[in-house]
């Protein structure tokens, strides 16, 4: 099936020219192009039009889960008849395996997997292996090891009506691709048997497959609703994909175990030669136990650490990742590339340094280092053709694009870049309060950015004390809470949002009429040309918007940012004059705002059903921060604290049930 774009809008403003140039560039074989698109210019719509024109399977990479979810929603609405899939990390929280030599502390891997995201990941790869009209919206999770697409193809179960295939043979095949038989609880990745009927719940689908046998022949195949049991439709054939990305055959496991033992023997000999007898014994014991489990069960905890042997790779050979599932002629779109590219560049080193300690102290074989994200040069080598999308492209994109920088400055809505005013920093708080009061009177919202967490906290507290409804957004707030805070701002639950570096890329906030940047003359990452332009862009969806830079001097970064914003502003004004356009703010109803954040509501409800304690959520966030800072000892303490609280909750629940029973008896 071909990509078919569905929209009530036609390309306007700079969009038609940008679409034409990008399409021409792809057809001419250019490897890199950059779409320099300002906030509110419809970059996603432009990319959607490009995809429809070039008809290539497309990977869209975003630098965080919130923006990935937003892009996924937009592309699904643009391409309702095509496969738009979502591929992000499936961990709700993740504590990696680690060792802290200073305190001789070993921390086991601990993780909570989100089953719905796991299903979406499996659906993404199965779509890529069965059709071409596929758009995958992914986070940087797409550069991590997920196993070989060729092995997945080899192991798929193909069922066709009228074909000879015994019931027992089908059951054995399903078990070999990690499906589990469960005749009582029918969930994704399981199958059940009732007489001559085998019901399969594919790991990547929401509906079940019913296979009816007559003797050793498949008589009928149905798609049915697993909840009600109602038949949806009868089909002639179906493909069942493996229930996991990491999967292999028994002969491959046996071969892998042989190679693991050869590596083990060499490594143990090295340790013994160095007099490291504890490390040698530790490695021998752990690895032999894992080998035994692999041979008996086809699986062991930490199986990913043996992925080099299981996939038949050589040392140094890159692992398979999502990109390997795409055909060779695919298109890559790197959203907010000035942030996403540095993120991809840093993934390998952080992963490598943690695992190196485990290898040095005998917790893992050296081959465990091969279970890793791609190195940046490996990522680059997999790019067929790429479009980098950013309002402020960095040096990497500019250099790679070799002059193919396509501007999209004009907004179809006619909204002009906000007017920028520079005011003295001396009395910035008093002036800010005065500006906030003006916006509150007009029922408008305000964003304020500070340089430090302490400044943001103090300012929020002060504004709250003088009666201004204010919230503070910071790094400890998870993605779901962040969406809720932004929604409440848009709905008018409060008027001012204070933050540090969290009010930049990708926020769609048409209700914001003022962005105030405190201490704008402090040169550095948070007040660079790129950061100033990005932050100012948050006010670019409202005709009454304004940006105030509080500064006692004009820095070089400010000069460049002001000049670029003025250039963009003048171009839009000229376009509006020629086309007689009167700018109008983007207005969204309460229902539209609520719909845009419904995913967060659903996830929040699921989380409340599981654990209704803010304390545990806070501890999870602290644990994630500790892991990112490689403070594994602190992370382990927090993990143990969470387990202790959960245990107390379970005991409390059991007492509640018991007391309730005693009450009924009395």
Q: Where are the beta strands (DSSP E) in 445-511?
A: 445-449, 470-472, 496-499
Residue 546 lies in a domain: yes
Domain shared by 469 and 565, yes or no: yes
Of 363, 389, 408, which marks where a domain is finished?
408
Q: Which value, in Å, is the radius of gyration of the alpha carbons in the chain?
A: 28
Residue 599 lies in a domain: no
**Quick check: helix, strand or coil at residue 100?**
strand
Of 380, 408, 436, which marks where a domain is finished?
408
Domain shared by 71 and 130, yes or no: yes
Which among 512, 475, 509 is positioned nearest to 495, based on CA atoms? 512
Report the pLDDT value the prediction gives residue 551, as an integer from 0 to 100: 94
Residue 245 lies in a domain: no
Binding-site entries for ATP: 37-44
Residue 591 lies in a domain: no
Report the pLDDT value the prediction gives residue 247, as an integer from 0 to 100: 78
Residue 361 lies in a domain: yes
Residue 585 lies in a domain: no
Binding-site entries: 37-44
Domain shared by 494 and 574, yes or no: yes
Domain shared by 464 and 502, yes or no: yes
Q: Cβ(54)–Cβ(386) under 8 Å?
A: no
Residue 666 lies in a domain: no
Report the pLDDT value the prediction gives residue 479, as an integer from 0 to 100: 58
d(CA 404, CA 401): 5
Sign of CA dihedral 116, 122, 125, 127: negative
**Quick check: helix, strand or coil at residue 297?**
helix
H or E, element range at 506: none
Sign of CA dihedral 218, 219, 223, 226: negative
Report the pLDDT value the prediction gives residue 144, as an integer from 0 to 100: 93
Domain shared by 323 and 403, yes or no: yes
Domain shared by 47 and 89, yes or no: yes
Report the pLDDT value the prediction gives residue 93, as an integer from 0 to 100: 64
Domain shared by 487 and 557, yes or no: yes
DSSP class of residue 451?
A: S
Domain shared by 404 and 531, yes or no: no
Residue 557 lies in a domain: yes
Q: Is the overall model pTM greater than 0.95, yes or no? A: no
Domain shared by 57 and 140, yes or no: yes
Domain shared by 322 and 429, yes or no: no
Report the pLDDT value the prediction gives residue 135, as an integer from 0 to 100: 98
Structural tokens at position 371: 């279970």
Domain shared by 102 and 24, yes or no: yes
Per the structure, the complete domain to which residue 222 belongs is given by 157-240
User: C-alpha distances in angstroms, 100 versus 104, 282, 361, 507?
Assistant: 6, 16, 10, 39
CA 360-366-368 angle, to 5 degrees, is 110
Report the pLDDT value the prediction gives residue 588, as an integer from 0 to 100: 58
Cβ neighbours of residue 108 under 8 Å, at least 6 residues apart?
97
Question: What's the CATH number where 475 sits?
Answer: 3.40.50.300
Of 374, 408, 442, which marks where a domain is finished?
408
Block means of pLDDT (10 residues each) for the chain, 666 residues, are 93 94 97 92 95 98 87 94 93 77 84 83 96 96 90 91 93 92 94 96 96 95 95 96 86 94 97 95 96 89 89 91 97 95 91 91 95 95 97 93 94 87 92 95 92 89 94 72 79 90 60 90 84 83 88 93 92 92 69 50 45 66 74 75 73 47 36
Domain shared by 353 and 297, yes or no: no
Secondary structure (H, E, C), 519-564? CCCCCCHHHCHHHHHHHHHHHCCCCCCEEEEECCCCCHHHHHHHHH
Count of CB atoms within 10 A of residue 90's CB? 19
What domain count does the chain have? 5
């Amino acid at each position: 099936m071909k990509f078919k774009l569905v929209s009530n809008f036609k390309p306007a403003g700079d969009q038609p020219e940008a679409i034409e140039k990008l399409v021409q560039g792809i057809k001419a074989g250019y490897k890199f192009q950059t779409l320099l698109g300002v906030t509110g210019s419809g970059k996603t719509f432009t990319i959607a039009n490009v995809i429809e024109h070039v008809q290539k399977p497309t990977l869209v990479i975003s630098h965080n889960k919130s923006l990935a979810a937003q892009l996924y929603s937009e592309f699904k609405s643009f391409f309702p008849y095509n496969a738009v899939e979502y591929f992000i990390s499936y961990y709700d929280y993740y504590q990696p395996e680690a060792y802290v030599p200073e305190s001789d502390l070993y921390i086991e891997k601990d993780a909570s997997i989100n089953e719905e995201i796991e299903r979406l990941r499996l659906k993404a790869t199965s779509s890529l292996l069965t059709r071409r009209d596929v758009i995958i919206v992914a986070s940087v999770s797409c550069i991590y090891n997920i196993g070989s697409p060729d092995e997945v193809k080899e192991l798929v179960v193909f069922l066709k009506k009228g074909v000879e295939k015994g019931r027992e043979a089908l059951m054995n095949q399903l078990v070999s691709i990690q499906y589990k038989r469960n005749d009582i609880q029918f969930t994704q990745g399981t199958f059940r048997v009732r007489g001559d009927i085998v019901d399969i719940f594919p790991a990547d689908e929401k509906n079940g497959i019913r296979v009816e046998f007559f003797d050793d022949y498949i008589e009928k195949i149905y798609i049915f609703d697993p909840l009600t049991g109602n038949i949806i439709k009868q089909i002639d054939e179906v493909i069942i994909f493996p229930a996991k990305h990491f999967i292999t055959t028994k002969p491959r496991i046996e071969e892998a175990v042989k190679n693991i033992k050869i590596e083990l023997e060499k490594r143990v000999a090295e340790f013994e030669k160095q007099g490291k007898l504890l490390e040698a014994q530790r490695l021998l014991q752990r690895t032999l136990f894992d080998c035994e489990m692999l041979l008996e069960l086809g699986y062991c905890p930490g199986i990913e650490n043996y992925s080099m042997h299981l996939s038949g790779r050589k040392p140094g050979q890159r692992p398979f990742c999502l990109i390997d599932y795409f055909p060779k002629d695919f298109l890559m779109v790197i959203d907010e590339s000035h942030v996403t590219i540095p993120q991809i560049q840093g993934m390998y080193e952080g992963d490598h340094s943690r695992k190196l300690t485990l290898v040095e102290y005998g917790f893992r074989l050296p081959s465990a280092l091969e279970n890793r994200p791609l190195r940046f040069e490996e990522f680059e080598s997999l790019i067929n053709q790429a479009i980098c999308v950013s309002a402020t492209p960095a040096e990497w994109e500019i250099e790679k694009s070799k002059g193919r920088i396509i501007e999209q400055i004009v907004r179809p809505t006619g909204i002009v870049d906000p007017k920028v005013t520079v005011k003295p920093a001396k009395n910035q708080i008093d002036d800010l309060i005065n500006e906030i009061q003006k916006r509150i009177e007009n029922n408008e919202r305000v964003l304020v950015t500070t340089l430090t967490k302490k400044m943001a906290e103090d300012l929020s507290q002060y504004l709250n004390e003088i009666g201004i409804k204010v919230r503070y957004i910071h790094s400890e707030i998870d993605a779901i809470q962040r969406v809720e805070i932004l929604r409440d701002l848009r709905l008018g639950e409060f008027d001012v949002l204070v933050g540090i570096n969290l009010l930049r890329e990708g926020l769609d906030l048409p209700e914001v009429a003022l962005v105030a940047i405190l201490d704008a003359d402090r040169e550095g990452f948070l007040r660079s040309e790129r950061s100033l332009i990005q932050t100012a862009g948050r006010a670019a969806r409202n005709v009454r918007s304004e940006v105030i830079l509080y500064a006692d001097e004009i820095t070089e970064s400010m000069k460049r940012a002001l000049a670029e914003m003025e250039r963009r502003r003048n171009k839009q004004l000229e376009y509006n004059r020629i086309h007689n356009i009167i700018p109008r703010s983007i207005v969204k109803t309460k229902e539209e705002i609520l719909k845009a954040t419904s995913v967060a509501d659903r996830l929040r409800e699921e989380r409340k059903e599981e654990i209704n304690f803010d304390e545990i959520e806070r501890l999870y966030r602290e644990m994630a921060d500790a892991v990112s800072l490689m403070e594994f000892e602190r992370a382990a303490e927090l993990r143990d604290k969470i387990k202790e609280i959960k245990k107390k909750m379970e005991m409390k629940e059991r007492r509640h049930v018991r007391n309730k029973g005693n009450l009924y008896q009395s």
